[in-house]
Amino acid sequence: MPVEVVMPALSPTMEQGKIASWTVKEGDKVEAGDVLAEIETDKALVELEAAADGEVGKLVIEAGTSDIPVNTPIAYLLRDGEALSDIETAPAQVPEKPEAPVPAASEQPPASSVVPQPITVTIAADPELPADAEMTEQSV
């Protein structure tokens, strides 16, 4: 089965990226670790390396395409004995940004507007200190 190359998550907050450029073309032989593309994020330009040896079977998304969601297939690598026809030929498209979901009306009654009062704590006096004792730095 061909190796699927997906848009990587280059940071924990990354949701989408841009293929700045491809450094390979379809039919090129690559080894694990070879640079396939340059991926641009909002913070950096990072090289995407091949995860396996093989031949570049298909570049699914063109260079310059932006707003590609993380984990979207961007290319396929063919291993020995595999053919281009082994790639599922569903055309990959960059999905449009989904509309923000409309929150459903809550069936719970609104929260009470009564705010509880803070608890006050009274500190007891030390029975060993005289009532007229004065605290100084040396007392502490």
Mean predicted confidence (pLDDT) in 94-116: 60
Domain topology for 3-86: OB fold (Dihydrolipoamide Acetyltransferase, E2P) (2.40.50)
The per-residue pLDDT of the chain, averaged, comes to: 81
- Give pTM, 2 decimals: 0.60
Amino acid at 64: G
Better-predicted residue by pLDDT, 75 or 130: 75
Q: Quick one: pLDDT band at residue 75, thresholds 50, 70, 90?
A: very high
Number of residues assigned to the chain: 140
Sign of CA dihedral 18, 5, 89, 16: negative
CA dist 21 and 39 (Å) reads 7
Mean predicted confidence (pLDDT) in 66-82: 91
CA dist 73 and 130 (Å) reads 80
pLDDT value at residue 93:
47
Task: Evaluate if residue 35 carries a pLDDT over 90.
Answer: yes
Better-predicted residue by pLDDT, 83 or 91: 83
CA dist 82 and 21 (Å) reads 26
Q: Which residues pair with 54 in a beta bridge?
A: 30
pLDDT value at residue 24:
96
pLDDT value at residue 40:
92
